[in-house]
Amino acid sequence: MPEADGDEGYELALFHHPTGMAPEETGGMAANNMDGEHDGDDYQTRLDRRTVRKLDFILLPFLALLFLLNSLDKSNIGNAETAGFTHDAGLSAQDLNTSLAFFFAFFVALQPVGAALGRKYGMARWVPACMSLWGLCTILHIWVRRRWQLICLRVLIASLEAGFYPTTVSYLSLFYTRYEFAVRLGIFYGQSAVAGALGGVLSWAVFSRFPKSPSGPQLPTGKMAEAMQSGGWKSWEVLFLIEGLATMTVALVGFFWLPHSADTAWFFKQQERVWAEQRIRLDRDNVTPTQRRRASMALARSITEDEEANAHPFAAENDGEEAHHRLLANHDTADSTPLRRKESTLSTMSVTADTGLSRHDIFSAVLNYKIWHLLICNILSAIPATAFGVFLPLVIKQLSPSLNLTPAASNLLSAPPFAFGAAVLFIFTTWSDKSHQRLVPIFWGLGLLLIGLTLTVMVPISNYVLRYIALCILLSGSYIASPLTVAWLTNNTPEPGKRAILLGVNGWGNLAGVFSALLFTPADEATAYVRPFLVTLICVLAAFVGFITFWVLLVRENKWREDVTAAWTEDEREREELMGDVPIATSSGLDGLVKWAGIRNLLEGVGYEEARRGDEKLTFRYGM
């Protein structure tokens, strides 16, 4: 958004909130720059820090815990298999791969549907409800005795989990500004790596305490602890029980913990609720630091007025009404153009609300060529992360036949590679936020992944120490591309409804799980999975080329938009930012680009086009 001459009007409009207070009523307070607690820069810094700190220590950890449990429930079947799950249940090892293929097929296919339902009904209700049900399904694995039972449970869990990631990430993006988001997303997404490490340690602890038993599983009778000790419970049964109960318990807490928006968050004070909303508006409108300081001063004045209103409610009500009428009267003056222009870009409706979806959101997301390009890259680059989330304990168990690793030992050894993955992801997302770059860190992450895969393929099977180090390097680069792709999508999609659908479509990247289930088969155990590693290497190399191509396309589209808007007047630029309906003349060579960019229903000749929204506006520039 151009800085123009509307800073003061923007400040007034921004904080003309439903209390009826008008910031300009404080007279000379703006000019005096306010000392003490409400000094502009100092007040903004402290209020912003306090608001973000509460998000970081109350909201983010709980969301991360949800994703940790979600990842555990996806990967625990691999841990259970190292303790003889399929053998004890009377199934074959191939049945496990078949059930995983069904799981990922449904999980992927239903991603956009789950994202749409999550956005429609709200993350704060939708996700805890789904988690409670899939936690119950996790426990039901204890009594699986037929192949169809295993497949049905995995399909049911897949259907319930399908909307979890896009809905939760979209929800998280509502509360953080664009260049605060990647590092928080890294903490959130890194729980998939933490789940691998924690799952390995938890499995080791359970498998050590409850060694494999030859007796069949028994239905628990009496107290649970006594049933486990005397009822012949196997270690993998205890694992499913613990993780399923943990998921259900945390899900029930989620109904009370998660707010529907920042202005209804139980952990915020009133001024923090107001600022949590406005800081997102400021960020999405690309305001300058000067505008941000003035906005924080306006908030300080509005809070002062609120405090005075609490002390003198009747006088404040009258003053508020008079100020409200004067502010509306400003709309009829010639000097109020900047105010009208800026105010109309804002809404009194919460910008952090977790519900709201329009038909335009769905169609503009589906017709956006960028999401389909990123989807292909995401599928190819995500194969290692999805594969090792399930199969790493099995790969380590076959690292060297001479080691003859026990199930407990192979699960414990799977923890360090996942820990490396989580640590490197945090480093890369921090770099991404500080540098305001998304694609360059993706390139470096894929390079690290390629090094690890190359070493894993080339190192002899007999050298298990070097192969284990290669796995640590491989996992270090496995978790970078996917979250930074999501960060790019959220940064470049101002509209929350469209953003949710794009993240749902991007969730089809979990097709990588289907491919990994087909790649890492029991037949490859004898060769320490060399063939699957080689195929994965080729796929990641193709993803690297795909991301470079995507970068080139973004540069070309930004250049095309610059060329189109270069001849526009200032009024046309302002109208495009406000309404998105300035007519453009397209040659036949540009028709395809315009269509796939989401710029629809162009009208030739005189008159305005149908309004473009968000990133469809020609004044919008895509970040890199």
Mean pLDDT of 472-499: 89
Q: Which of 221-225, 298-302, 371-375, 589-593 has the lowest mean pLDDT?
A: 589-593
Round to whole Å and give the CA distance between 622 and 620.
7
Q: Who's near 399: CB < 8 A, 6+ residues apart?
A: 405, 464, 467, 468, 528
Nearest to 487 by CA among 420, 428, 536, 546: 428
**Is pLDDT of 193 > 70?**
yes
pLDDT in tens, 519-534: 887 777 777 778 888 9
**What spatial distance separates the first Cα and last Cα of the chain, rounded to whole Å?**
18
Please tell me the predicted confidence (pLDDT) of residue 43.
73
Please tell me the predicted confidence (pLDDT) of residue 103.
87
Q: In the chain, what percentage of residues exceed pLDDT 70? A: 74
DSSP codes, 104-160:
HHHHHHTHHHHHHHHHHH-HHHHHHHHHHHHHHHHHHGGG--SHHHHHHHHHHHHHH
Round to whole Å and give the CA distance between 342 and 408.
62
Round to whole Å and give the CA distance between 616 and 613.
5
Nearest to 276 by CA among 170, 353, 165, 179: 353
Round to whole Å and give the CA distance between 254 and 246.
12
- DSSP code at position 527: G
Return the CATH superfamily for domain 49-260+357-554.
MFS general substrate transporter like domains (1.20.1250.20)
pLDDT in tens, 418-429: 888 888 988 999
Please tell me the predicted confidence (pLDDT) of residue 376.
94
Please tell me the predicted confidence (pLDDT) of residue 289.
55
Max avg pLDDT among 89-98, 218-227, 246-255, 295-304: 246-255
User: Is residue 554 a contact partner of residue 622, using CB atoms and an 8 Å limit?
Assistant: yes
| Domain ranges (residues) in the chain | 7-32+266-328, 49-260+357-554, 576-616
Please tell me the predicted confidence (pLDDT) of residue 341.
35
Q: Which of 38-52, 254-268, 303-317, 554-568 has the lowest mean pLDDT?
A: 303-317
Higher-scoring residue by pLDDT: 62, 342: 62
Round to whole Å and give the CA distance between 353 and 335.
33
Please tell me the predicted confidence (pLDDT) of residue 372.
93
Nearest to 379 by CA among 481, 509, 519, 541: 509
Please tell me the predicted confidence (pLDDT) of residue 301.
61
Burial bucket for residue 121 (CB in 10 Å: 0-12, 13-18, 19+): middle
3 state SS for 552-601: HHHHHHHHHHHHHHHCCCHHHHHHHHHCCCCCCCCCHHHHHHHHHCCCCC
Please tell me the predicted confidence (pLDDT) of residue 386.
81
Round to whole Å and give the CA distance between 48 and 280.
11
Question: Greatest CA span in the chain, whole angstroms?
Answer: 87
User: Is residue 53 a contact partner of residue 337, using CB atoms and an 8 Å limit?
Assistant: no
The overall average pLDDT reported for the chain is 76
pLDDT in tens, 446-470: 999 999 999 988 888 778 788 888 8
Q: Which of 148-157, 236-245, 342-351, 490-499 has the lowest mean pLDDT?
A: 342-351
Please tell me the predicted confidence (pLDDT) of residue 290.
58
Q: Which of 172-186, 187-201, 360-374 has the lowest mean pLDDT?
A: 187-201
pLDDT in tens, 9-51: 444 344 444 333 333 333 333 444 444 444 556 777 888 899 9
pLDDT in tens, 398-410: 776 666 777 777 7
Please tell me the predicted confidence (pLDDT) of residue 297.
61
Mean pLDDT of 471-493: 90
Please tell me the predicted confidence (pLDDT) of residue 41.
64
Indicate the helix (H) or strand (E) that contains 381. Answer: helix 369-397
Please tell me the predicted confidence (pLDDT) of residue 21.
36
**Is pLDDT of 303 > 70?**
no
Chain-centre distance for alpha carbon 388: 21
Residues 605, 611, 616, 617, CA torsion sign: positive
Model pTM above 0.85 = no
Q: Who's near 505: CB < 8 A, 6+ residues apart?
A: 111, 112, 115, 365, 366, 371, 372, 375
Q: In the chain, what percentage of residues exceed pLDDT 90? A: 23
Please tell me the predicted confidence (pLDDT) of residue 39.
56
